[in-house]
A = this chain, B = another copy of it.
Amino acid sequence: MMRAAPSPEEARRHNLGTLLRHIHLRGAASRAELAEGMGLNRSTIMALTGELTAAGVVREELPREVRRRAGRPSLVVRPESTRVYVLAFDIGVDRLVAARVGLGGVILERRESARPRGPFDPDEVVGALASFTRQLVRRADRDAVCVGAGAAFSGIVRSADGMLRYGPNLGATDVSLGDALSRRLGLGVSVAIGNDANLGALAEHRRGVGVGCNDLIYLHGDVGIGGGIIVGGRLLGGADGYGGEVGHMVVNPGGRRCGCGSRGCLEAEVGEDALLARAGQVAAGRIGRDAVRAVVDAADRGDAVARDALCRTGDWLGLGVANLVNIFNPAMVVFGGTLRDIYLGSAAQVRSRLATHGLAAPRERVKLRTAELGDDTTLIGAAELAFSEVLNDPLEVLGRLRAASSGT
């Protein structure tokens, strides 16, 4: 609160981080654009990009199309995506994904496996992800450097230490998955862990449909319903990082039983089980995202039972959206995971409920959209979590990269 303005050394770190963040999020840019965007003169920009180039984080090239204008063309600064990368993991209820993601947000390579539903076994998850990681690292360029790692988990994660506190099929004991995974990978990077919906929000805000939108709610449908909320451009974490659990907002007191022990939570009325039960699929043993998508498809083809199940689910989803619009006044609500399909199949119900229960002022300008990054939303969010730490302390990473270069 009482922070003084930055010292010259802090200012340099800040400017390096800002520059690198811009290149990472927006892609290649000319020195002239960077100078103008940051309000710095060209010699200052040149010193900054020179430092990043020397460390091998970016490269500077002549622009591909040189316009016929007086003077030298401004060099274009590009991220070294294959050289500087993070590991991203997505630990869903039904699947495990691991990927190498390069600076600039490029998925360089990925591995995925299905997970049977059952008790959450940390050793098994750590083992599978470590095995994927060995394969991914082996195939990286020889001079490539892993600068961080992040994982998305479909449950509640404590921000201070990455402890898993609650999740579907997670036992009563808290699990310190990040530490276990970091040790097992043995790459000298620690694995940051975040809630999957929070990371989905981060991904859509930085690289998806929500770019430029500083007040955004991301709703993620998997087995349950998660939420990630961007407030004033920053992810809402709350006191301990548990913020955004909109799936456990009670919308129907006395309604369907929820896995959390309460009743009528948004998740209990809109989650996978609610839709599949209404569509008569649970009795038939059909579960998972394919089953959800099959119901939406059947409704689309005119199946009356599926249509009715989807409408009733959309009514509750719309009520939840209206509540969130009143509470947050977001510029955008984004539907991801299976909620993408459910929303597309019940948009009329959602909009109708929003009109009934949303106040005129906050709803008049809100946009309802679907996630642009598809099934990779949470994975890309995990990569962004890992890159965040790099961008917040670029000097530490630059030192590491220079050491790696001199070692080869």
Cβ of A183 under 8 Å from chain B: no
A250 and B319 within 8 A (CB): yes
Further contacts, 7 of them, CB under 8 A, given A242-B329, A248-B357 = A2-B38, A156-B359, A156-B362, A214-B239, A227-B327, A237-B329, A239-B330
Fill in one digit per residue for A1-29: 1 if any B CB lies within 8 Å of its CB, else 0: 11111100011101100100110000000
| Cα separation A214 to B39 with both chains bound (whole Å) | 32
A9 to chain B, nearest CB (A): 10
Partner of A361, one of B6, B11, B240, B261: B240
List the B side residues contacting A285 at CB < 8 Å: none
A16 to chain B, nearest CB (A): 10
Cβ of A222 under 8 Å from chain B: no
Cβ of A197 under 8 Å from chain B: no
| Cα separation A331 to B240 with both chains bound (whole Å) | 8
List the B side residues contacting A305 at CB < 8 Å: none
Partner of A241, one of B38, B324, B329: B329
A327 and B246 within 8 A (CB): yes
Known: A327-B245, A361-B240. A250 touches B18 (CB 8 A): no
Fill in one digit per residue for A227-267: 1 if any B CB lies within 8 Å of its CB, else 0: 10101111011111111111011111100000011100000
Known: A6-B11, A243-B328. A238 touches B250 (CB 8 A): no
B232 and A4 within 8 A (CB): no
B362 and A238 within 8 A (CB): yes
> Considering the complex, which residues of chain A in the window 340-356 have a beta carbon less than 8 Å from any beta carbon of chain B?
356
Cβ of A37 under 8 Å from chain B: yes
Interface size class of A (residues with CB under 8 A): 35 or more
Fill in one digit per residue for A213-229: 1 if any B CB lies within 8 Å of its CB, else 0: 01100000000000101
List the B side residues contacting A214 at CB < 8 Å: 239
Partner of A250, one of B229, B245, B323: B323
Cβ of A165 under 8 Å from chain B: yes
Cβ of A107 under 8 Å from chain B: no
Residue of B nearest to A166 (CB): B361
Cβ of A62 under 8 Å from chain B: no
Partner of A262, one of B3, B329, B356: B356
List the B side residues contacting A277 at CB < 8 Å: none
Residue of B nearest to A320 (CB): B250
Cβ of A191 under 8 Å from chain B: no
List the B side residues contacting A359 at CB < 8 Å: 156, 166, 242, 245, 248, 260
List the B side residues contacting A232 at CB < 8 Å: 231, 234, 236-237
B4 and A329 within 8 A (CB): no
Residue of B nearest to A236 (CB): B231
Known: A6-B11, A245-B326, A356-B262. A239 touches B331 (CB 8 A): yes
A240 to chain B, nearest CB (A): 6
A34 to chain B, nearest CB (A): 8
B238 and A329 within 8 A (CB): yes
A324 to chain B, nearest CB (A): 8
Partner of A246, one of B11, B156, B241, B326: B326
Cβ of A365 under 8 Å from chain B: yes
A239 and B253 within 8 A (CB): no
Cβ of A40 under 8 Å from chain B: yes
| Cα separation A249 to B251 with both chains bound (whole Å) | 9
Residue of B nearest to A234 (CB): B232
A330 and B238 within 8 A (CB): yes
Fill in one digit per residue for A260-299: 1 if any B CB lies within 8 Å of its CB, else 0: 1110000000000000000000000000000000000000
List the B side residues contacting A356 at CB < 8 Å: 261-262
In the A-B complex, the 3 residue pairs with the smallest Cβ-Cβ separation, listed nearest first, are A238-B329, A5-B11, A239-B331
Partner of A362, one of B215, B229, B236, B245: B245
| Cα separation A22 to B1 with both chains bound (whole Å) | 8
